[in-house]
Amino acid sequence: MNKILTILILSLFSVSLFSQNFTVADLKIQGNKKLKTSFIKSISTIKAGAKLDSLVIEQDIKRLKHLPSVSHAYYQVFHSADNECNVFYNIEENFTLIPSVNFYTTDNDEFAYRIGLYEFNAFGRNIIFGGFYQKDIYDSHAINLRAPFLFSKHWGLAANYQDLTTQEPVFFEDETAQYKYNNKSYEILGLYRFNFHNRLEFGVNYFTEDYRFKGENVNNRPELNVHKWLVKGIYEYNNLNYFYQFVTGFRSIFNFQYVTSTNDMLPDFFIGWNDFFYFKRIGEKGNWANRVRLGLSSNDETPFAPFSVDNNLNVRGVGNTIDRGTGVIVLNTEYRYTLYEKNWFVLQGNAFVDAGSWRNPGGDFGDFSKDDNIKVYPGLGLRFIHKKIYNAIFRIDYGYGITKNSTNGFVFGIGQYF
């Protein structure tokens, strides 16, 4: 009873403060250890001397909860003197030096994995730095740097290096040929944040694609080594709200790329796609999650089409790059339910349906409705979640195909599938 009365008195006091013309005497940060106080203040809108505004403060708190280094944040307001008050931002930090592990298998006995290590709060300023090693028949590696607030609360920078080698099926009219594919790339991006909800990435990528035929090349299939430039832009609208493992709201990410080539076999082309996300909290323990991807590229009749049907990208259980296309429609929908929660640990179950269809290279929009191009995979999964470590979600899903020529298999990884 005393606790309820205290909460009621504090709530009434806060309403009284916001209903009057108070100014902020000081913004104070509490609870942060590794995350720098100066950094939190630099990205916060509320400043000393500003008018006390609950909407602005709530937006600051929402922004802080989007940071990888923050598991939860809330604020308090206390009267200081005359018409002034102090605002306290209370931070619950995540552990941010995180290993990444992804591996999968299907009923075709495929097995691949990727392991890495990333720091999501380097120098206490929300800088992400790390890399990974991948074994997917061949060895691959990458190094990534992302500093979204490097220059100011609006401007940042990202740089990426990747040397990726895989076995890729290439789909000719009379056969599916297996190639050893290597992509070595160098990328630099400018990051600009318009406001809390809207941001932009833009930059260039220089890369080399190398296709080497595997086995005896009896049909004299082409082998390629092509140098390319890629210009890209990404626009994101993000209105998601987080409460530990629960997510609510809407998010949209549009990605457009234009690629130049020095080889007629791989002509210049454009590719663009948009991912739409919608999350809804259902009761105390349920979370409905949805992703829709719509994408198109130049419709060249080439065996090297850019959109792929892949276990780790869009349809759980389907296998490793089983088809390619110049257009894509994918729906992922799942219901996540908290089965058990105590202190830092959460066990979450999920039931999902992954479905997609692709346009054949050189085809038309009617390809999306053809039985051969439609993949539908329902399935079940589990999530083991640590609430105090960023993205510490170990997932295991089993997808079972119910459409033509389907497979089934497990998909393991770190983080939610989407």
Instruction: For 62-106, write each residue's pLDDT tens digit.
Output: 999 989 999 999 999 998 888 899 999 999 999 999 888 777 665
Q: How confident is the model at residue 221 (pLDDT cuts 50, 70, 90)?
A: confident
Residue 8 pLDDT > 90, yes or no? Answer: no
Distance CA 14, CA 77 (A): 7
* Residue range(s) in the chain whose domain bears CATH number 2.40.160.50: 97-414
Contacts of 101 (CB under 8 A, 6+ apart): 113, 114, 115, 116, 394, 412, 413, 414
Pairing of strands 127-136, 111-122: antiparallel
With vertex at residue 297, the alpha carbon angle to CA 407 and CA 169, rounded to the nearest 5 degrees, is: 35
For residues 5 and 353, the model is more confident at: 353
Listed in order, the ranges of the chain carrying CATH 3.10.20.310 are 2-93
Output the six-digit token pair for 58. Answer: 């709530």
pTM value surpassing 0.85: no
Q: Any idea what DSSP says for residue 371?
A: G
**Residue 17: its pLDDT value, please?**
57
How far does the chain reach from its first CA to its final CA, in angstroms? 42
Give pLDDT tens digits for 113-143. Answer: 889 999 999 999 999 999 999 988 899 999 9
pLDDT at 398: 95
Residues 21-46: what's their mean pLDDT? 94
Q: Is the pLDDT of residue 312 over 50?
A: yes
The CATH code that applies to domain 97-414 is 2.40.160.50
> Residue 313 contacts by C-beta under 8 Å, 6 or more apart in sequence?
none
- Alpha helices by DSSP H, 33-163: 37-43, 54-66
Q: How confident is the model at residue 268 (pLDDT cuts 50, 70, 90)?
A: confident
Residue 186 has what pLDDT?
Answer: 98
Whether 97 contacts 37, CB under 8 Å:
no
Task: Report pLDDT digits (tens) over 337-370.
Answer: 999 999 999 999 999 999 999 999 989 999 999 9
pLDDT band (50, 70, 90) for residue 413: confident
Instruction: Please state whether beta strands 155-171 and 84-93 pair in parallel, antiparallel, or not at all (unpaired).
Output: unpaired
- Which tops the pLDDT comparison, 217 or 382? 382
Does the pLDDT value for residue 330 go beyond 60?
yes
- For residue 261, the model assigns a pLDDT of 83
Structure-block tokens of residue 127: 């800088």
For residue 7, the model assigns a pLDDT of 47
For 2-93, CATH gives 3.10.20.310
What Cα–Cα distance (Å) separates residue 6 from each residue in 1, 17, 71, 93, 157? Answer: 9, 17, 26, 26, 46
